[in-house]
Structure 1
Amino acid sequence: MFKNLKSDLPASIVVFFVALPLCLGIALASGAPLFSGLIAGIVGGIVVGSLSGSSIGVSGPAAGLAAIVLAAITSLGYENFLVAVVIGGAIQLLFGVLRLGIIGYFFPSSVIKGMLTGIGIIIILKEIPYFFGMDKDPQGDFAFLQVDGKNTITELLNALNALISGNVNVGATVIALVSLGILILWANVLSKKGRFFQLVQGPLVAVIVGILFYVFTKGSTLNLSADHLVAVPVPDGFNDFLGQFSFPNFAVLGKVEIWVTGFTIALVASLETLLCVEATDKLDPHKNVTPTNRELLAQGTGNVISGLIGGLPITQVIVRSSANIQSGGQTKLSAIIHGFFLLTSVILIPRLLNMIPLSVLAAVLFIVGYKLAKPSTFKQMFSLGWKQWLPFMVTILGIVFSDLLKGIGLGLAVGIIIILIKSYQNSHFLHKEGEDIDDGKIKMTLAEEVTFFNKGAILKELDRVPHDSLLELDVRKTRYLDNDIIEILEDFSFKAKERNITIHLIHESGAIENPESFIDFFKLRPKIS
């Protein structure tokens, strides 16, 4: 694992700078103490990173759970909520033992790509106000409807009006543009010039430049106020640091609402993790496959520990994972090191961290978002046809205008509808023998698998078979025939006699003319029925 340290260490620094404001912002959006987000980030990096089988996945507090957490804390109280987090982790351990990690593989590729693209767009949209130093809402608030009652569109309109009127924070905008220039120059030019520029990553340079900008512009027109800087809790001493931890109140363990909240956390966190695992595996340049059951066990362990010491629920998260991949992370060491960076920074250098401009971090996330939502991805999906394009776009729009899980659910629903339509269309092949020969011979070939979804299409075609004709029914390729279809064929055999239709049933062993019972025939062929 340590042989890739030269790649993992720079990547862990980038992930650290991406994770830090997100941990704080998600805690704020969840109505939890700011320190609880940092605890979740530390546990997600060190504990989950060590136990996970993912080479490039990074775990921490998830924006997708913010609404659930906010409602739970409001109704239960924070110490009681922590009991639900511990229960949720224990249920995830049970999911892992029961080998339920396979669920993530039932989501179509178009939906997964739509999820990645949608998250990339959300990142860019949410960071625009921070880039210009205008929005004071919590970092990491990815919901379309925000905590302050506004939404993504109104925030963007406010940003546009501010840009037109020149009512932006000049200092934040200047350092954001400088940082964006550094990142683009570093990635496209300097990284190819020598080993030094490969070891020292552009985001680290941008952050250092941002701190120096804040220090040297104090008192000037470019001065940045505290509202435009990272806000890490600063303890007065060791006892004050320990006082930031909260502990669960297990006296409420018998309450039904605690268990309901715990199961909800486990279900949503597991689903979000499995989807992110699927997505990060697709982004992984080495195409490693993450063992999903082991991932559930790792996440469950992390949530139990996080809940016991006052942290938020944890999932694998695509923003940090994609930042890790794009920064050259090779093994899970980068995720583990980023956790140690979070731990040591909040203990040793919280005041230094509080000098980092949020607009610099917005520039870093701009690059991450663009790489997830490249225009080439839209072009590629469009070229694959409407069956891929439609669920892809529905997923994106659902994520942007609602939230992550609803967007994925909508994309999956569209994908299922498309499958049903194609199954309806492809259940059989029916044609008349010889376009110019009017001998009344019609051939129907059934597909390899025919289910009750195909009832309507087959029934419609059988009803259209004309009187006084010959129907050849070919089931030689059929490996599964639903009982509903067998019943339709059974009913049609009676109608055929009235309409003077002769049926030739062609099977792997020969042919039968006007079989007395389709039900009895297929009972003798278990490989079909």
Structure 2
Amino acid sequence: MIRKHFYYYFSHLRNDIPAGIVVFLVALPLCLGIALASGAPLFAGIITGIVGGVVVAWASGSQLSVSGPAAGLTVIVLNAIDKLGSFQSFLLSVVIAGGLQLVLGFLQAGVIGAYFPSAVIKGMLAAIGLILILKQIPHAVGYDADFEGNEAYSQPDGHTTFSELAYSLEAISPGAVIVSVVAIGIMLLWETSLFKRNAVLGLIPGPLVAVLWGVAYNLLTMKFAPAYAIAQEHLVKLPEIQGVQGFFQQFTFPDFTQWANPEVYTVAVTIAIIASLETLLSLEAADKIDPLKRVAPTNRELKAQGLGNLISGAIGGLPMTAVIVRTSANVNAGGRTKVACFTHGVLLLLSVMFITEYLNLIPLACLAAILLLTGYKLAKPKLFKEMYAKGASQIVPFVVTIVAILMTDLLKGIAVGMVVGLYYVIRSNFHAAITLTRHGNNYLLRLHKDVSFLNKALLRRYLDSVEENGYVIIDASRAQFIDQDILETIYDFVAAASDDNITVELKNLNGNSGLIPPKTVVSVDAFVREGSGRRTQVGHA
């Protein structure tokens, strides 16, 4: 078995190593930006990314999912640190949250992931794509008011995503625009068949070439054309660490003296629930975009996230989730197995140990270009056309989810999309539970599977459509459950049928069949009787 897995991963190294490099380039500023927005040390974000790549990648059952600090938790983390009084006390909450996620995994709570409608998940993916485009355009033109990874519509300063976009277009940096436009051109060129077929160029990821272009451009312009150089504040800002020893000196440990503080447990429960929901959503999304259509085990993912948060909190990291932006970058870069995620974690580790001074030369505009293309692939016009072609039951929850996420946040948007999706599920069940077929003055009313009180309005409408002198067959042979309200509605119809000279034939209605011609009297007490032995009794006048 071990040998089989080894050959499986080895056979995909050509795809996974380049993909891991791309995910590393995307994850680096996101880890720093989310840590900054969370009010935590910058190194905490890097630790979370490293643990997500090196540990969670192998503990998870997903081949493509990437874990790390999540933008959706920034407000929770920021408020929790303030409420608990110190970052060390907050780390204890992260450790406890990890333990709670492990418990949820063993309790099989991952089954919740199976109840997210496909249209809502696709809407989430498209919304994330649009958010990436809207949020990365300012970074691409050299306007970095928002932290990297910010997904919120409303900003702390009262501005919105669209107003920030408008301001960015008034503060364009020529150097950033040149870098981002050329970087996008390079990546598009790298995706052409000419470059993919080349034995050498096909091994080099286009985003890496785009980043090298940005670094080279900035070094040259700083020397020969300072007016077009990119300012220092528009470059990656990694904390400088000297070697392996310096790396371990950055660790921060939980304050276990706070174990009796009830606020610690309140924060832990909040993190465990929110992080688990975001993870399950991201996992469902990852399965949707997996080119090999694999399905990851959700309970194992909760256990993997729990282990990751235990370790992350124990050494000074932020709470983590499976994150869709980095996962999407992984898929778009050609990743096929866990090796890609593991590679990104190893590169994060090595980068902060040995090459921070070189990574700090990377313009944010390069990384914005990578995320802009990732966003476009998640929200392609083709996806909207496909959902529209599937009808209102798919396009409406899809669009509502997108708008709700754009205007609020991920979890609130998903909740709104779920409500709309549930409406269409109930609506379709109305029609699926009861069908009416008419031929001339003959009617066949069929009850399918489970018929509950929710179907009463539809049943009444069908029965009201039966015309005078009609012959109606009410067939319940396919029904597994018939609600008491449905039986009473049928009784009311049978009792009044003689007024319109309607003949009613019952088939397997709670185990009884019979013909009820006009002028028939039906016993109410016998027809509607409590218990599983209810039977229809017919008495002729």
Q: TM-score, normalised by structure 1?
A: 0.91
Q: Please give the per-residue CA displacement for 1:232-279, whole angstroms capped at 9, x wherever unaligned.
A: 111367665444322212222233332222112111111111111111
The residue that corresponds to 1:7 in the other structure is 15
C-alpha distance in 1 between matches for 2:211 and 2:437:
69
The residue that corresponds to 2:271 in the other structure is 265
In structure 1, stretches of 5+ residues that fail to align are: 436-440
The residue that corresponds to 2:202 in the other structure is 198
Q: Please give the per-residue CA displacement for 1:22-55, whole angstroms capped at 9, x wherever unaligned.
A: 1011111222211111111000011100111111
The residue that corresponds to 1:26 in the other structure is 34
Question: Would the aligned equivalents of 2:527 and 2:534 in 1 still touch at CA under 8 Å?
Answer: no
Matched, 1:46 2:54: yes
The residue that corresponds to 1:135 in the other structure is 144
**1:123 counterpart letter in structure 2:** L
Matched, 1:73 2:75: no
Q: Please give the per-residue CA displacement for 1:464-486, whole angstroms capped at 9, x wherever unaligned.
A: 66788654321122223234323
Percent of aligned pairs sharing the same letter: 47
Quick check: 382-391 or 424-433, which moved more?
A: 424-433
Matches within 5 A, 1:405-420: 405-420=411-426
C-alpha distance in 2 between matches for 1:248 and 1:343:
21
**2:57 counterpart letter in structure 1:** G
The residue that corresponds to 2:386 in the other structure is 380
C-alpha distance in 2 between matches for 1:498 and 1:30:
73
Deviation at 1:195, TM superposition (A): 1.5
Question: Would the aligned equivalents of 2:89 and 2:264 in 1 still touch at CA under 8 Å?
Answer: yes
C-alpha distance in 2 between matches for 1:431 and 1:347:
73
Deviation at 1:193, TM superposition (A): 3.9
SS of the aligned residue for 2:514 comes to strand
Deviation at 1:303, TM superposition (A): 0.7
The residue that corresponds to 1:454 in the other structure is 455
Matches within 5 A, 1:16-415: 16-77=24-85, 78-160=87-169, 162=170, 167-218=171-222, 220-235=226-241, 241-415=247-421
Distance 1:266 1:222, change over 3 A: same
SS of the aligned residue for 1:505 comes to strand
Distance 1:69 1:499, change over 3 A: farther
**1:360 counterpart letter in structure 2:** C
Distance 1:115 1:347, change over 3 A: same
C-alpha distance in 1 between matches for 2:374 and 2:456:
48
SS of the aligned residue for 1:217 comes to helix
Question: Would the aligned equivalents of 1:427 and 1:458 in 2 still touch at CA under 8 Å?
Answer: no
**2:188 counterpart letter in structure 1:** I
Question: Would the aligned equivalents of 1:128 and 1:156 in 2 still touch at CA under 8 Å?
Answer: yes
Deviation at 1:137, TM superposition (A): 2.2
SS of the aligned residue for 1:218 comes to helix
**1:512 counterpart letter in structure 2:** G
SS of the aligned residue for 2:274 comes to helix
Question: Would the aligned equivalents of 1:190 and 1:197 in 2 still touch at CA under 8 Å?
Answer: no
C-alpha distance in 2 between matches for 1:243 and 1:198:
40
Question: Would the aligned equivalents of 1:117 and 1:373 in 2 still touch at CA under 8 Å?
Answer: yes
Distance 1:217 1:412, change over 3 A: same
In structure 2, stretches of 5+ residues that fail to align are: 1-8, 517-521, 536-541
The residue that corresponds to 2:6 in the other structure is none
C-alpha distance in 2 between matches for 1:432 and 1:133:
67
C-alpha distance in 2 between matches for 1:79 and 1:467:
79
**2:513 counterpart letter in structure 1:** A
Quick check: 326-335 or 258-267, which moved more?
A: 258-267
Q: TM-score, normalised by structure 2?
A: 0.89
C-alpha distance in 2 between matches for 1:29 and 1:86:
21
CA-atom RMSD in angstroms: 2.5
Question: Would the aligned equivalents of 2:242 and 2:354 in 1 still touch at CA under 8 Å?
Answer: no
Q: Please give the per-residue CA displacement for 1:306-350, whole angstroms capped at 9, x wherever unaligned.
A: 111111111111111111111111110110111010011011111
Question: Would the aligned equivalents of 1:423 and 1:453 in 2 still touch at CA under 8 Å?
Answer: no
**1:351 counterpart letter in structure 2:** E
C-alpha distance in 2 between matches for 1:87 and 1:278:
25
The residue that corresponds to 1:438 in the other structure is none
Question: Would the aligned equivalents of 1:137 and 1:148 in 2 still touch at CA under 8 Å?
Answer: no
SS of the aligned residue for 2:12 comes to helix
